[in-house]
Chains A and B, each alone.
Chain A
Amino acid sequence: MTIDGVSPSTVLRPESIEELAQTLASEKGAIVPLGAATQTCFGNPLRRADCAIDLTRLSRITEYNPADLTVHVEAGVPLEQLQHALLENNQFLPLDPWNGPRATVGGIAATNAQGPFRATGTIRDWIIGMKVVHVDGQISKAGGRVVKNVTGYDLQKLYTGSLGTLAVIVEVSLKLRAKFPRTATAIARPADESGAAALIASIRNSALQPISCEWTGPENEVLLRFGEHPRAVDWQLKNLPAADWRVLEDADEAAAWEKLRGRYGQLGPLVLRVIGLPATVHEIIKTYRPAAWIAHALNGIVLMQISDADEIPQIRGKYRAVIEKAPLEVRRKIGTFGLTDTEYDLMKKMKEAFDPEGRLNAGRHVDGERN
């Protein structure tokens, strides 16, 4: 196994949280926690790796309370396994990260992985508690097991998106929701970019509430997904702004979103996640002329394929932008997150407070951001 050109000398596969804690208590080298390894190219380059911890054997759904709409899972549970279990009770976790159903719950949390389901929030909005193992082998938890809770600091939020650099996520408690009674997807292909922008503007100013609204380019396809009471879905489909819509349901609908995921897979090798506002999405695309893009149009976020890494500092002069995908040599030169001084300073102190020797995923996050 090689990540960013670094190969760990040992790979451990703990069967339990306690076993992992014991391992970390005695391990003195650089540690690399891994889930399904679908996101190993995200983040600043890994600097050292003595011991990789493969968490996929922590794969138990430890407790599922359908009537409470909560589930507690070990970090190595793949998303598809979880969704499958939830489906038996007509429930689900409304997340569809690009890295797919094989991705583990712990990995999705650690990388803050996202997909087109944006109206329902990101994983931080669904996590109600977390158990982690620290670099010295201590086990701690934050949050709890109930859907509403303000007991103690929300450290689970801090661990989410920290790329395993503060602690190793080993168990995640999630709140759930009932499956949408019905979903349907409407797809249109306006003639050009202005047409797509106008269409999205009219959606934004309408009463429609799609659970996903994606604008892909350069083909200018607009995908809207609705999930509601069947009659509310029908009403929204009837009230779509004028365009040549194709409405898909069931297997066809699933295939369309799978196709979009494939489209995401093809973006690259250099992809930037540019953070604007709903009303500036078109402006971003017009200004930077990406070769290809997928925009979460109602969230103001554009995943855009750019050709030259030198554009990144210029774009960051105007917008917040995270490197979504990039070859190693680009990530060596340019920090993944483009942090402000305030963020850099606080995150660095956070890293020092949790992992003073910098042994957890060395270089991956804030510790590799500015070189």
Chain B
Amino acid sequence: MKKEVIKKLREILGSPAVIEDETELLVYECDALTLFKSKPDAVVFPWTTEQVAQIVRLANEHRIPFLPRGAGTGLSGGALAVEGGIIIELQRMNRVLSIDADNRFAIVQPGVVNLHISQAVAPYGLYYAPDPSSQMACSIGGNVAENSGGPHCLKYGMTTNHILAIEAVTPKGEIIRLGNAAGETVGMDLLGAIVGSEGTFVIVTEITIRLLQKPQWVKTLLAAFHSVEDCSQTVSDIIAAGIVPAALEFVDAKTIEAVEASVYKAGYPQDAAAALLIEVDGFREGLEETSNAIVEICRRNRSYDVRVAKDDEERARLWLGRKGAFGAMGRISPDMITMDAVIPRTRLPEVLAEIARMSDRYGLAVANVFHAGDGNLHPLILFDGRRQDQVEKIHRMGEEIVKLCVDVGGALSGEHGIGYEKKEFMNLVFTEPDLEMMMRVKRVFNPDGLLNPSKIFPTRRACTEIGKHTTTSTAEIGKRVDEVLRGSAR
């Protein structure tokens, strides 16, 4: 990048808030999807919305691609600087600006850590519901970009159901506001389109979020099974009984092995083939009956051990194991890739059986730990990144898993996003007209494609390597996509 641009960035932000040193930039060559790497030309750390707007306007002047980044916990490469350019790191915009307990909303900056919101509003008996497993680290801005989920989305909905209003910087550098604190849509639901657009429409700089009253009572259960089929059937039976659990999580034997060997040790039954972590919440009255009904369903499906957490401490430990499961894999494998796909929940048994067969066929271990209640699978493929033969196999196996999920009527991603990782799979679920309409909306927000290029849309090239030597300019890619789309429309 030109020295002149760096100089101007330093004028906007001050010298220490701009990184251009090759070694320091290494930290930003990927997000939590470490399989793909591409170094940005600069990383900047603004404090204010106005600074973000200035940076964006500067990037426009020089036709440099740019993208926002939160905590870098994203799992689909959404914060990967595919074409280099400027990463706008929003971690310094980390203040809870206001809390309106009476009207149950809070206004926060994008760099606020998800969990810190619930901590900040706890004195009012309130909390923020969506709770990705990375909630101790991930930022709310990233949650908005990805429409993040989490275990409790089963009952309370995804991020999109909890965002009331935003302030954002457009790809041209204008500051806009959308939505209102009542969460009432006026006209077209522009805000609904922006949440989950993976940082390709606007850069969100302020967020008004809905707060919920903490449930009066919570009951957390752990049910162990000797067979994966029985465990899966229990999921279906709970839903079929009309129970809406707050969370319904599946952990398999491999996951239990890793968790129990790690600092996240939760006391999961080590002889189980699979276990369910089930939570119900709400009014204290009636919760005991609901919990008993769940225990009954588990037993009917041959659960050999159903444990109800006695106190908050035991409850916290059971959750620690679940939320730490991804990290715990380090105990049993040097590397892993976290898959994310959704299937209709009734298809769980057959899909899990097929994934087990694939695991044997490829000789790669798979751990399954996922949101069973909404059919959101997370197969973790374990491998050794130093072994090239294994690295090649995970791509193929990953693709096979995705295809399997699509074939049973599922979706490519339930909460991690498409980003860079899955863009070439988009053709599996969407037709050319489907993608064309999405491209039209993208062009309304991001007409020049400078904001977060080379994401979501398939490039239709057999090219899995990336880096500046293999990618072309945004304008060229945009043109190529246009050509392909027009060609297919004819």
Contacts and interface: CB of A to CB of B under 8 A. Distances in A.
A122 B185 contact: yes
A230 B182 contact: no
Contacts of B445: 346
Interface residues of A, number: 78
A277 B282 CA distance: 25
B418 interface: yes
Interface residues of B, number: 84
Contacts of B444: 346, 349-350, 353
B438 interface: yes
- Among A147, A167, A279: residue with most chain B CB under 10 A: A147
Nearest to B374: A148
A261 interface: no
B153 A148 contact: yes
Contact of B161 (A125, A147, A153, A322): A125
A229 B289 contact: yes
Interface of B: 100, 102-104, 146-147, 149, 153, 157-158, 160-161, 176-178, 180-190, 192-193, 195-197, 213, 216, 236, 239-240, 242-244, 282-287, 289-290, 342-346, 371, 374-376, 409-418, 426, 429-431, 433-438, 440-445, 456, 489
A124 B186 contact: no
**Which 4 A-B pairs rank lowest in CB-CB distance, beginning with the nearest?**
A229-B286, A157-B192, A178-B242, A232-B283
15 contacts: A68-B239, A121-B157, A140-B431, A145-B411, A149-B413, A150-B147, A152-B418, A153-B441, A154-B193, A155-B193, A160-B189, A228-B286, A337-B187, A354-B437, A354-B440
B436 A140 contact: yes
A154 B438 CA distance: 9
A271 to B, nearest CB: 15
Given A67-B240, A142-B438, A347 B188 contact: yes
A122 to B, nearest CB: 7
B414 A66 contact: no
A178 B244 contact: yes
Given A67-B346, A155-B193, A149 B414 contact: yes
A343 interface: yes
B193 A68 contact: no
Given A232-B282, A232-B285, A145 B440 contact: no
A161 B285 contact: no
A228 B243 CA distance: 11
A150 B413 contact: yes
A153 B438 contact: yes
Contacts of B282: 228-229, 232
B182 A300 contact: yes
A62 interface: no
Contacts of A147: 342, 345, 374-375
A246 interface: no
A153 B196 contact: yes
B178 A181 contact: no
A32 interface: no
B35 to A, nearest CB: 19
Given A147-B374, A178-B243, A342-B176, A152 B434 contact: yes
Contacts of B192: 124, 154, 157-158, 160
Contacts of B104: 278
Contacts of B243: 178
A320 B186 contact: yes
A133 to B, nearest CB: 10
B189 A161 contact: yes
Contacts, number: 244
A305 interface: no
B242 A181 contact: yes
B433 A229 contact: no
A53 interface: no
Contact of A322 (B153, B186, B411, B430): B186
B254 to A, nearest CB: 23
Contacts of A179: 242
A157 B189 contact: yes
B268 to A, nearest CB: 24
A181 B436 CA distance: 44
Contacts of B456: 152-153
Interface in A67-85: 67-70
Contact of B434 (A142, A149, A234, A342): A142
B219 to A, nearest CB: 13
A162 B417 CA distance: 26
Given A142-B437, A231-B285, A277 B346 contact: no
B283 A236 contact: yes
B193 A157 contact: yes
A67 to B, nearest CB: 5
Interface in A35-73: 65-70
A124 B189 contact: yes
Nearest to A143: B411
B283 A145 contact: no
A158 B189 contact: yes
B344 A146 contact: yes
Contacts of B435: 152
B414 A320 contact: no
A234 B103 CA distance: 26
Contacts of A236: 283
A299 B182 contact: yes
A301 interface: yes
B286 A230 contact: yes
B161 A343 contact: no
A179 B443 CA distance: 42
Contacts of A230: 286
A80 to B, nearest CB: 21
A138 B489 CA distance: 9
A150 B414 contact: yes
A49 B4 CA distance: 57
A62 to B, nearest CB: 13
Contact of A339 (B186, B189, B197, B430): B186
Nearest to B236: A67
B188 A279 contact: no
Nearest to A354: B440
- Among B185, B186, B416, B445: residue with most chain A CB under 10 A: B186
A365 B282 CA distance: 41
A343 B286 contact: no
